[in-house]
């Protein structure tokens, strides 16, 4: 049944310090239990660890996120009683969300250090095209490549 009205995507305001929507998104994803000020402190401290200059830190972070953003992913689809993994191109906003999610997952999986340091390390590794987040991207692309034969089921 079609929707009665089109759903409009809410655009998040860029954060006050770095003027970046990606940084805002990261703050919201790092936040736990609604403690935004704690999340903001973690992210801003991580950004200052990347570079003292605000512009350089922003460029560094956005490049790291771009490196991790996947171009394709696989979606499960049931056809004729069998499930197929079908490769589908990823929209930019979902790609960005996945990249941030993987960076945060990578930071959370490391133990023994404060979140600021773990997040800084993970972003630096993503910038150098290595680490947990890049592994996730490579695996996603491999899965899509392996299931290229089922691309005709996409419709």
Query: Residue 119, class by beta-carbon neighbours within 10 Å (0-12 exposed, 13-18 middle, 19+ buried)?
Result: buried
In whole numbers, what is the pLDDT of the chain averaged over residues? 91
Q: What is the pLDDT of residues 103-139, one digit of tens each?
A: 999 999 999 999 999 999 999 999 999 999 999 999 9
| pLDDT given for residue 43 in this prediction | 95
> pTM for the complete prediction?
0.90
Let me know if residue 93 belongs to a domain: yes
Q: What is the pLDDT of residues 56-81, one digit of tens each?
A: 999 999 999 999 999 999 888 888 88
Let me know if residue 6 belongs to a domain: no
Let me know if residue 54 belongs to a domain: yes
Let me know if residue 100 belongs to a domain: yes
Let me know if residue 4 belongs to a domain: no
The CATH number given to whatever domain includes residue 28 is: 1.10.455.10
Alpha-carbon distance 24 to 112, whole Å?
26
| Overall number of domains in the chain | 1
Query: Residue 92, class by beta-carbon neighbours within 10 Å (0-12 exposed, 13-18 middle, 19+ buried)?
Result: exposed
Q: How many residues does the chain have?
A: 155
Domain of residue 96 covers: 21-78+88-153
């Amino acid at each position: 049944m079609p929707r009665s009205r089109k759903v409009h995507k809410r655009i998040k305001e860029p954060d006050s310090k770095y003027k970046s929507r990606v940084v805002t998104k990261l703050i919201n994803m790092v936040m736990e239990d609604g403690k935004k000020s704690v999340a903001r402190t973690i992210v801003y401290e991580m950004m200052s660890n990347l570079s003292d200059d605000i512009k350089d830190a922003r460029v560094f972070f956005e490049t790291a996120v771009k490196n991790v953003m996947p171009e394709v992913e696989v979606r499960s689809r049931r056809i004729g009683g069998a499930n197929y993994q079908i490769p589908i191109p990823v929209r930019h906003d979902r790609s960005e969300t996945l990249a941030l999610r993987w960076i945060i997952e990578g930071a959370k999986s490391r133990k023994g250090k404060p979140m600021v340091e773990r997040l800084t390390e993970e972003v630096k590794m993503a910038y150098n095209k290595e680490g947990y987040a890049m592994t996730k991207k490579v695996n996603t692309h491999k899965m899509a490549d392996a299931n290229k034969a089922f691309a005709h089921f996409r419709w």
